[in-house]
Amino acid sequence: MKVVDALARILKIEGTEFLSAYPTTALIEAAAKADIRPVLCRQERVGVGIADGYARVKNGKTLAVFCMQYGPGAENAFPGVATAYSDSTPMLLLPLGHPRDRAQVFPLFSSARTYASVTKAVETIAVGSQVADVMRRAISLMRMGRPGPVMIEIPADLVNEEVPDALIEAYRPVKVTAAGANAREVETAARVLREARRPVIHAGQGVLYAEASGDLLELADLLEAPVMTTMEAKSAFPEDHPLALGTGGPAVSGPILQYLREADVVFGIGCSFTRHGMAASIPAGKTLIHATNDERDLNKNYAADYPLLGDARLVLRQFVEAIKAQGGRPAGRQSVRAELESVRAAWLAEWKATLGSAEVPINPYRVISEFMRTVAPREAIVTHDSGSPRDQLLPFYRAVSPRSYLGWGKSHALGTGLGLTIGAKLAAPDKFCVNFMGDAAFGMTGLDFETAVRCGIPICTVVLNNSAMAIEIPHLVVSHDKYGARDIGGRYADLGRAMGGWSERVEKPEDIAGAFARARKATDSGQAALLEFVTSQETRFSHRGALR
């Protein structure tokens, strides 16, 4: 068979259901012949986002793939791949490459060279007989240890080269393995955690990829220890649980601010402890237990008092067993839940008026509040976009089941959430998949709402339209006063309707709940929905920057 058909056959063997793509590449036709559905986006960055969202919801168990042409196609996909790499999303990228006799000639764009900085591995197929080996290596690297995007470049003059059928027929799906941490080191760290006065568990998305949410819940209940999650890990711990602190991002909940400051021991599990503007920093003076499956994370930005290397689920099981062997639940923890509930109630009381605001234009927090009241979190998959929607949604939205929220953004581009939501709906067609974006984000990728319409992927896009880049108010002062630099405009419900979707523009707070119900009904009937809320230029956030 030809190289391109061999690639499609291997994708099928690995269980690939969808191929996110943008022409021109022969792999689209080959995949269709192999009964893999192509989903063609409007631009490559969104196509990468579709594969990204699909991979996150499927937890990397079903192969997420994006393919594109060489040159402009590969160039335009770069920011999407950078986001996936920073968030450790397991996905396979299959760009066409320039013919081998000119691939290194200036000014031709080389994916193999350029993408090395934003992928876990890059390899170019040199000869057709390498296809099976190259694919096996890439998929193995993608899934084991810290996951991440991998790339295989396919030279354009190679796609029709013949590959012996026997090489592909012998291919078997890649098996994944993982290891726990050193048992003695776990025993020591577990004792420190059990004897802590005010411990906090800091859970990263490694918990999600290890499918360890149940184990995390068991450990928290055993210790009566509060749990916070990173932005990428939001939904790894049920946020309606009495021990939930919420999500640590650029804006944080009141409980996270208080408990992280007062903690004596912080147990990081499945997290990188990266010092970053999108992550809550760890205050000085804490004893740190850090368990990760990537040795590059240990002692990176914080000195780890008890470093552990291992898979999050296996390490959590080790901690549970070690703490049980040491006597189980420590004494003096009876009042933890009541104290945390008091702190949470006090923080929410500060925001009650804003969350229930009747002001016009609509306060965006009222939109979030009404969404939470109208839509059961177990029935939805939600994501934010960059800027204000992210910082407004993260602290208040309560995700209660694993992978029901897609948090992202260490390397973030406006408009990423739209592609993620399309991919999420492909992965979980029974869920109400919703992305919250601002009008600036819609300007970046909004035309790909038509992709959802055309491909019959009934997502719900929420556009918070305040006709401005409100988050830039402190940064664009003179330029705005003189030239209106922050102003942007548009009627996005009209655009959604023009692209064939169901849409509605909402200007009064009393209409919010009904609009969400109507949008839900539209998606249930198979229509992509767009809700435009005309909002105020709200720039107050919950403790934004307090833990940087």
Share of the chain above pLDDT 70, in %: 100
Mean pLDDT of the chain: 96
pLDDT at residue number 104: 83
For residue 427, pLDDT over 90 is answered with yes
pLDDT at residue number 103: 84
Q: Which CATH class is domain 3-169?
A: alpha beta
pLDDT band at 282 (very low <50, low <70, confident <90, very high): very high
pLDDT at residue number 548: 81
Tokens representing 147 are: 């996951």
Residue 77: which of 141, 20, 124 has the closest Cα? 20
Residues of the chain with CATH 3.40.50.970: 3-169, 356-534
Half-sphere exposure of 61 toward its Cβ, with a 13 Å CA cutoff? 8
Minimum mean pLDDT range among 304-308, 385-389, 501-505: 385-389
> Mean pLDDT throughout 365-393?
97
| pTM for this predicted structure | 0.97
Tokens representing 392 are: 């407004």
pLDDT at residue number 411: 87
* Alpha helices (H) in 311-400, listed in sequence order: 312-325, 336-355, 364-374, 388-393
Tokens representing 468 are: 């401005």
pLDDT at residue number 105: 87
Using the Cα atoms of residue 434, residue 388, residue 415 and residue 227 in order, give the sign of their dihedral: negative
- Fold of the CATH domain 356-534: Rossmann fold (3.40.50)
Q: Which residue has the tokens 């909940």?
A: 253
For residue 140, pLDDT over 90 is answered with yes
Share of the chain above pLDDT 90, in %: 95
Spatial distance between the Cα atoms of 429 and 437, rounded to a whole number of angstroms: 21
> Mean pLDDT throughout 428-432?
98
**Domain 183-339, architecture per CATH:** 3-Layer(aba) Sandwich (3.40)
Residues of the chain with CATH 3.40.50.1220: 183-339
For residue 470, pLDDT over 90 is answered with no
For residue 471, pLDDT over 90 is answered with no
- The DSSP symbol for 394 reads T
